[in-house]
Amino acid sequence: MKNVINQLLRDLYFKIPPEVLSISFQRLRDENQLTNDAVIKEYIIEDHVLANCNLYAGKPKKIVLYEQYGKNIQDNTFAAVMSGNYGIYQIPPEARENRIISAVLDIAYPTTMALYGTFPNEISLGRSVANSVDEVLTSFTGAPIYLTPTPVLIDGESGIVGLSPPAALPVDWILSCMLGYDKDFSNISANMLASLKSMTEHATKSYIYNEMYVKINQGFLQGGLQLESIKGIIESYSDSKEKFEEALMKFRGAAVFSPEVFRDMLSMMIGG
């Protein structure tokens, strides 16, 4: 979507009186020599709303860790605690929709996906072949042929993830991760906009309440504004933190059930 930040700011000025916004963000404006819009964008939308979206409500994504993504561990400080040749992967931007990786969730051996037709680089084999390979080898050795490693996020901006322990042989692991949003929220779906507006509104109100509550109870006045009228508005923002959390959960739900996620799920299921 385009111009999302402008929509968030425009919506905000319909929800909060401009006078309240002006006095509440005066300190940050003066300290940083920024406009009100710039202050809200940096300190509310980017530092709080975006950070929470990326951490708790990123887009779920399954990515195959192909051998060509492997990175020489000697080129990375993570090498100090790694052994084996296949411990670090750098996922290219096109494989992660040109987004950051905000969190890694789980990893699966490819045969666990075979039942759903997503065995990497092969047609759907089904359980009778793909899964039986592991079972036969395990029956001879007494242990699984592959030990499922734990994924570690090293550098989300660069798409670098580590596996602990690393493997001596290449395996096209299936990584489950969360993809983050850019600073302009240009990669969100239309069904996520309403909850994003609500998050921005309540994050702003929460900041205003924390910044101004003590001041208004000390008789703070600014520019001839009537204390009682401002005080009543600011005190009504006392539950904004809880409302922000509710909006975040709705945003997360919208992210999980977005059309893009359904398309990716179908692609994984049919092996496309």
If you count them, how many residues does the chain have?
272
Rounded to 5 degrees, φ, ψ at 226 are -75, 125
The pLDDT of residue 175 is 94
DSSP 4-57: HHHHHHHHHHHHS-HHHHHHHTHHHHHHHT--HHHHIIIIIIIIIIIHHHHHHS
This prediction's pTM? 0.71
Q: How far apart are CA 19 and CA 16, in angstroms?
A: 8
The label of the residue with tokens 């580590």 reads 162
Long-range contacts of 3-7 (CB under 8 A, 24+ apart): 4/184, 4/185, 4/186, 4/188, 4/193, 4/196, 5/41, 5/45, 5/184, 5/185, 7/193, 7/197
Q: How far apart are CA 67 and CA 177, in angstroms?
A: 18
Q: How far apart are CA 214 and CA 220, in angstroms?
A: 9
All structural domains of the chain with their residue ranges = 4-57+184-259, 59-182
Residue 18, C-beta contacts closer than 8 angstroms, at least 6 positions apart? none
Q: Tell me: the pLDDT tens digits for 60-78? A: 889 999 999 998 655 445 4
The pLDDT of residue 121 is 40
Range scoring the smallest mean pLDDT among 100-104, 190-194, 245-249, 265-269: 265-269
Cis omega (within 30 of 0) for bond into 165: yes
The pLDDT of residue 210 is 95
Q: How far apart are CA 127 and CA 135, in angstroms?
A: 11
Element (DSSP H or E) covering residue 164: strand 160-167
**Residue whose C-alpha is closest to residue 91's, from 188, 182, 170, 177:** 177
Q: What are 115's two structure tokens? A: 């039942």
Angle between helices 4-15 and 193-217 (to 10 degrees): 50
The proportion of the chain whose per-residue pLDDT surpasses 90, expressed as a percent, equals 50
Q: How far apart are CA 202 and CA 58, in angstroms?
A: 19
3-state secondary structure of 176: strand
Q: Tell me: the pLDDT tens digits for 124-170? A: 344 444 445 555 545 554 445 557 889 999 999 999 999 988 877 78
**Residue whose C-alpha is closest to residue 224's, from 31, 22, 58, 6:** 22
CB–CB of 192/251 below 8 Å?
Answer: yes
Q: Tell me: the pLDDT tens digits for 184-231? A: 999 888 899 999 999 999 999 999 999 998 888 776 655 555 667 788
